[in-house]
Amino acid sequence: MTNKLYDTSLSLLTDLYQVTMAYGYWKSGTAEKEAVFNLYFRKNPFGGGFTVACGLANAIGYVKHFGFTKKDLRYLRTLTGSDGQPLFEAPFLDYLAELKLTVDIDAIPEGTVVFPNEPLVRVRGPILQCQLLETPLLNLINFETLIATKAARLRLVAESDTLLEFGLRRAQGVDGGVTASRAAYIGGCDATSNVLAGKHYDIPVRGTHAHSWVMSFDSELEAFETYADVLPNNVTLLVDTYDTLQGVRNAIEAGHRLRERGYRLSGIRLDSGDLAYLSIEARKLLDAAGFTDTAIVASNDLDETIINSLKQQGAKITVWGVGTKLVTAYDQPALGGVYKLAAMRDADGSWDYKIKLSEQAIKTSTPGIQQVRRYRDERGFLADMIINESEPLPGNTVTMIDPLDFTKRRKFGPAQSFDELLVAVFRAGKVVYTQPDIHAVRARVQTQLASLHPSVRRFVNPHIYPVGLEKDLHDLKTELILKLRGTRDADYPKA
Ligand SMILES: Nc1ncnc2c1ncn2[C@@H]1O[C@H](COP(=O)(O)OP(=O)(O)OP(=O)(O)O)[C@@H](O)[C@H]1O
Ligand SMILES: O=P(O)(O)OC[C@H]1O[C@H](OP(=O)(O)OP(=O)(O)O)[C@H](O)[C@@H]1O
Ligand SMILES: O=C(O)c1cccnc1
């Protein structure tokens, strides 16, 4: 179910600085040094309280097919520096020609709800290889995670209504369209209008017709009757080309003829005007004519806020077509996922933990070979604790510390149930993970959302789901910060 686009090597789908750093590691003899990087984001998108992990399937496809082709290397050979001389020596390009990834990758499965600062993907292996994967992994995970989260928000407001993704025409290019359709389906859409995405990803495809169909006939009624004649088993008529309520009457007339032929008028679509008022009036007309099972579809720059408002206004819409604002993540066009070095193996075999300092505490990275423990009870998820997998935990009872306020702590005893979220995906460069099919991933999103407290799911000032660091990891991070800042203050409040 991965995009066929990734079935060929896309090793040059990276930033130049990854290749120049790779050259630097190779040239300075550190290419094989073992490193660990974590991919995470710092803020839930759309001002929400949760995020839906997505994009792993395509990331697996990318890593699986990684390798520099002769053509890639021929291109790299042409690159020059400021003195006009080649950037890369020939032996480095020979090294890339032979390069086979040997990394271990652990990741949180697609469809899992995730929160800021949790590693969604952890890459461990020779630093040169980890470095080359930074940009493509961020590209693949950031976008699909963003769109799946947007779709999950739409699903929450649409409740049991049908949600159709109509975004291809407004999407950010070809892959932006195809990949958005996949993530939108996983997040909770029921179908897409995007036929290529349907074929690639086994997503149901659905659709109505455009204004051009109506405009190409002398009358709207003739357009509707012809459409019903040629596609009697797929009749949802767009009624707003000239006068919406007159359009509904014409649809009803076409619907009567359809009925006589043993078919049904599946729906009408509203695409302009006051969708609450028009849907209520259309519903009355349809019901009075006996078309009680004809659905009212609405489209026109919809998003979760407008759908929510329309529902509160009593709109009689049960099918929502959402395009632009879904596939472009209109109100937040990027997820700010980052990929940070968290540890390097020393010559003596021990880990040298790494952090990136920042003036803002939230932006200081966390060291360690991170795993996420999600504590839960029978009602749902309680809290997520990031642990350092490479160090033994202090005992049966573990303490979780809020990374932004070390006085906020929580203890979890041995009886408390938890799941470890990151699972093995690659070992020594080989896939060891069985990707669930897209429908199972989509279903997972809904069970995960149901395990979140409603206060975390709400859109306005959502409750912040607790994510903390295990105490030893917190202490390690504090010590590294102090060391890097050159502070040796014994009085510094140690957790
Ligand atoms: N009752 C309503 N409450 C809140 N928002 C609505 C309601 N009805 C429609 N909308 C939304 O308001 C916006 C209206 O868009 P716009 O100004 O383009 O008007 P329009 O009716 O589509 O006009 P046009 O005929 O030019 O397409 C759309 O995003 C639409 O989804
Ligand atoms: O509004 P969105 O959420 O992006 O949903 C997709 C839009 O694309 C179509 O409009 P368009 O004017 O392109 O073509 P049409 O003639 O089929 O309406 C459709 O009617 C929707 O309004
Ligand atoms: O099928 C539809 O109604 C449709 C498809 C794409 C964009 N807008 C509407």
* Residue ranges covered by each domain of the chain: 148-327
* Ligand 2 atom showing the smallest separation from residue 322 Cα: 3
Q: Which residues pair with 125 in a beta bridge?
A: 35
Query: Exposure of 103 by Cβ count < 10 A (0-12 exposed, 13-18 middle, 19+ buried)?
Result: buried
DSSP reduced 3-state for 228: helix
**448 Cβ below 6 A of ligand 3:** no
Task: Give 487's pLDDT tier (boundaries 50, 70, 90).
Answer: low
Average pLDDT, the chain: 95
For ligand 3, mutation pick of 196, 299, 322 (most atoms within 8 Å of CB): 299
* Ligand 1 atom showing the smallest separation from residue 274 Cα: 8
For 149-177, how does the pLDDT look when each residue is reduced to its tens digit (9 = 90+)? 999 999 999 999 999 999 999 999 999 99
Report pLDDT for 493: 54
For 290-337, how does the pLDDT look when each residue is reduced to its tens digit (9 = 90+)? 999 999 999 999 999 999 999 999 999 999 999 999 999 999 999 999
Atom 6, ligand 3: which residue's CA is nearest?
166
- 129 CA to centre of ligand 2 in angstroms: 44
Report pLDDT for 106: 98
Of 241-245, 458-462, 483-487, give the lowest mean pLDDT range.
483-487
pTM higher than 0.90? yes
Give the Cβ contact number of residue 345 at 10 Å.
15
The runs of H, that is alpha helices, within 11-84 are: 16-27, 56-64, 70-78
pLDDT at residue 37 is higher than 90: yes
**271 Cβ below 6 A of ligand 2:** yes
* Ligand 3 atom showing the smallest separation from residue 269 Cα: 3
Question: Which superfamily, per CATH, for 148-327?
Answer: Aldolase class I (3.20.20.70)
**117 Cβ below 6 A of ligand 3:** no
For 171-196, how does the pLDDT look when each residue is reduced to its tens digit (9 = 90+)? 999 999 999 999 999 999 999 999 99
Query: Exposure of 294 by Cβ count < 10 A (0-12 exposed, 13-18 middle, 19+ buried)?
Result: buried
Phi then psi for residue 421, to 5 deg, are: -80, -35
**170 Cβ below 6 A of ligand 2:** yes
Report pLDDT for 1: 46
**303 Cβ below 6 A of ligand 2:** no
DSSP state of 205: B
**166 Cβ below 6 A of ligand 2:** yes
Q: What percent of the chain has pLDDT over 90?
A: 93
**193 Cβ below 6 A of ligand 3:** yes
Q: Among all chains, which residue has been given the structure tokens 């769109």? A: 147
